[in-house]
Amino acid sequence: MSQAANLRERTVVIRPAIESDLVAINDIYNHYVLHSTCTYQEAPEPIEDRRQWLHRHGERHPVIVAEMGGCVVGWGSLSPYHARSAYRRTVENSVYVHHQHHRQGIGALILGDLIVRARHLGHHALIAGIDAEQIASMALHARFHFKKVGHFKQVGFKYDRWLDVIYIELMLDNSLNDRPPARQGAPSA
């Protein structure tokens, strides 16, 4: 393979996910279902459920893929944090990289893109719940200035052991525009 072809092969493109990406997305995810605590799901996700998942994500909650050499090597998503309306500007991120493509910067490209998209969409807070043993995921999020906001002890049970979840958060917009207007006669902060 020529040097130019090898460089093209290594270029990672981040783009919105489409229906034809679902098998690759699901295969990447199901590897972790079966072999990791980065998800607390214990049974592989059926492709039809993954299809419904994609359709539930809309413009305000995008799903993206990382593509290298024409193959999907990772994916990420922004999902609603909670169904109640007051939570509408808080989203939860997911980032999954194919297990054969770790330590190549793909996770950082996906997370960086999700943060930009979340800001552009007007979301205010971005959160993630990460298994306490997932040091690489914690380090990835720390690179983007996520802060630890909670540690729940023994809330998951997988592989015959109790698991802790650490919650982290990134405030996306701390501008004055997000503050309620000052009351008449009250000093503004």
Residue 81 has pLDDT above 70, yes or no: yes
Measured in whole angstroms, the distance separating CA 96 from the mean position of its chain's CA atoms is 7
In a domain, 23, yes or no: yes
Query: What is the average pLDDT score of the chain?
Result: 89
Residue 161's pLDDT band (boundaries 50, 70, 90)?
A: very high
Report pLDDT for 20.
97
Domain contains 179: no
Is there a domain that residue 165 lies in?
yes
Write out the residue range of the structural domain in which residue 135 sits.
3-173
36-67 pLDDT per residue, tens = 999 999 999 999 999 999 999 999 999 999 99
Q: How many domains does the chain have?
A: 1
Percent of the chain with pLDDT over 90: 85
Give CA separation, 170 vs 28, 38, 122, 144, in Å: 25, 19, 14, 8
In a domain, 185, yes or no: no
Tens digits of residue pLDDT in 107-152: 999 999 999 999 999 999 999 999 999 999 999 999 999 999 999 9
Torsion over CA of 56, 57, 59 and 63, rounded to 10 degrees?
-160
Tokens linked to 57: 């994500």
**At residue 59, what are phi and psi to the nearest 5 degrees?**
-55, -40
Strands (E) in the chain, as ranges, are 12-16, 63-68, 71-80, 90-97, 125-131, 147-158, 161-171
CATH code, domain carrying 152: 3.40.630.30
Interatomic CA distance for residues 150 and 178, integer angstroms: 24
- C-alpha separations of 66 from 69, 76, 108 in Å: 10, 8, 11
Amino acid identity, residue 76? G
pLDDT above 70 coverage of the chain, percent: 87
Residue 155 lies in a domain: yes
Local structure of 6: helix, strand or coil: helix
Measured CA distances, 34 to 39, 43, 97, 122 (Å): 9, 7, 15, 35
Specify if 33 maps to a domain: yes
pLDDT score for 173 = 78
Calpha distance 37→156 (Å, rounded)? 9
Tell me, yes or no, whether 187 lies in a domain. no
Reply yes or no on whether the pLDDT at 106 is more than 60.
yes
39 domain residue, yes or no = yes
